[in-house]
């Protein structure tokens, strides 16, 4: 299993002081949206090779290009100072990065101070047996687990390298640790579309929320995304023939729109970047493991935060770079999937940017 070689975050380093929540500023983009949610990819590496996410033979970033865990801590803390209230660590698979739990533990100080409302993670579940208790101890209370099928053979086909039983054991471990789990499922035409009702029943039967996601045109893969794309408007219409879906105002800070399923009593979310984009309410920015800030998942415009981060021990240059970047956050993305444009809308893979 690929792991980054990193030293644990040193809690005694100068940038780990508590932040006064009353002293936080706010980041407002050109369209009046308050940027309060940061998603940080801590690694582009993963122990799966999901067919819609990456090629089987991936070339990953050299480890020397990655921000250290202490640099990631300092960067995240700068965003908290500027008004971010929620941080999600992503990948790749974030839990394969060596000593990653120390970063969760260090960032947990912002939860204790009240400067940060939530620290979460998106994972494929493969490492949850090992890390669930540590995540809870660090202050994590809610996690997303990416899972596109509950059929073991199909799971192997989708993930190529994944072990279904390991993920199921991980879900058990997470729930035992007290973590609230949401299942994220990418709807894939001809792959899992017929299984979606069973997955919803399974998830709700375990007391898990579930969110369906449309596949996004990010990065070159081994297949054709037009063959995978399943509009969630169609999925929802099909579900409505058998189930009662009631709109609810529930929000987790992300783009999902939620309903309750009367027959199961559980919550079901829909993330629809193509059929019904959520750009008008976007409160998110993303930072890659190399310190590149993307103001929009579906645009290539980016800002280098690694250079100002390393140029000075003070955060003045870093915060100025963040301000400049937020000042050009676009109104929306350019995602489209059709037969006329075979190239992905954005050349980078999802594993580089983080979900």
CATH topology of domain 23-353: TIM Barrel (3.20.20)
pTM for this structure? 0.86
Give 254-304 pLDDT, tens digit per residue: 888 999 999 999 999 999 866 555 577 788 999 999 999 999 877 788 999
Tell me how far apart the alpha carbons of residues 159 and 64 are, in angstroms, rounded to a whole number.
27
The domain ranges of the chain are: 23-353
The mean pLDDT value for 322-346 works out to 65
Reported as a pLDDT band with limits 50, 70 and 90, residue 50 is confident
Residue in 89, 185, 95, 182 with CA at minimum distance from that of residue 133: 95
pLDDT at site 333: 57
**Residues 189 and 224 sit within 8 Å (Cβ to Cβ):** no
- Centroid of chain to Cα 318: 23
pLDDT at site 54: 78
The mean pLDDT value for 197-205 works out to 98
Residue in 79, 87, 63 with CA at minimum distance from that of residue 15: 79
Structure tokens at 38: 């940061």
Query: What is the chain's percent helix, strand, coil content, to nearest 5?
Result: 35, 20, 45
Residue in the structure block whose two tokens are 């199909």: 154
pLDDT at site 235: 95
Tell me how far apart the alpha carbons of residues 137 and 104 are, in angstroms, rounded to a whole number.
9
Tell me how far apart the alpha carbons of residues 40 and 291 are, in angstroms, rounded to a whole number.
9
Q: How high does pLDDT run on average in the chain?
A: 86
pLDDT at site 328: 92
Question: Which of 66-70, 271-275, 335-339 has the highest average model confidence (pLDDT)?
Answer: 66-70
Runs of H (alpha helix) within 211-283: 225-228, 232-240
Reported as a pLDDT band with limits 50, 70 and 90, residue 94 is very high
**Residues 313 and 17 sit within 8 Å (Cβ to Cβ):** no
Tell me how far apart the alpha carbons of residues 126 and 45 are, in angstroms, rounded to a whole number.
13
């Amino acid at each position: 299993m690929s792991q980054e070689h990193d030293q644990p975050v040193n809690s005694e380093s100068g940038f780990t002081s508590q932040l006064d929540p009353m002293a936080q500023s706010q980041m407002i983009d050109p369209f009046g949206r308050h940027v309060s949610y940061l998603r940080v990819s801590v690694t582009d590496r993963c122990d799966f090779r999901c067919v819609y996410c990456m090629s089987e033979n991936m070339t990953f970033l050299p480890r020397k290009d990655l921000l250290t865990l202490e640099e990631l801590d300092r960067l995240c803390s700068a965003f908290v100072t500027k008004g971010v209230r929620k941080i999600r660590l992503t990948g790749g698979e974030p839990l394969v990065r060596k000593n990653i739990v120390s970063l969760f533990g260090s960032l947990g100080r912002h939860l204790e101070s009240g400067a940060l409302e939530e620290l979460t993670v998106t994972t494929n579940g493969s490492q949850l047996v090992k890390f669930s208790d540590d995540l809870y101890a660090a202050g994590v209370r809610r996690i997303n687990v990416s899972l596109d099928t509950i059929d073991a053979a199909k799971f192997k086909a989708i993930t190529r390298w994944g072990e279904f039983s390991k993920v199921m054991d991980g879900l058990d471990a997470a729930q035992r640790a007290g973590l609230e789990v949401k299942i994220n499922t990418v709807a894939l035409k001809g792959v899992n579309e017929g299984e979606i009702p069973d997955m919803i029943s399974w998830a709700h039967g375990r007391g898990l929320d579930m969110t369906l996601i449309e596949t996004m045109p990010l990065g070159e893969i081994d297949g054709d995304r037009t063959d995978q794309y399943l509009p969630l408007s169609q999925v929802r219409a099909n579900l409505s023939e058998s189930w009662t879906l009631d709109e609810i105002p529930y929000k987790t800070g992300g783009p999902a729109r939620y309903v309750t399923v009367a027959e199961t009593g559980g919550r079901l979310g829909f993330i629809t970047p193509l059929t019904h984009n959520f750009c008008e309410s976007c409160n998110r920015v993303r930072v890659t493991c190399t310190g590149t800030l993307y103001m929009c998942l579906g645009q290539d415009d980016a800002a280098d935060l690694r250079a100002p981060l390393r140029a000075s021990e003070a955060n003045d240059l870093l915060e100025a770079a963040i301000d400049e970047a937020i000042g050009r956050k676009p109104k929306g993305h350019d995602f489209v999937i059709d037969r006329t444009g075979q190239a992905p809308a954005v050349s980078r893979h999802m594993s580089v940017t983080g979900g």
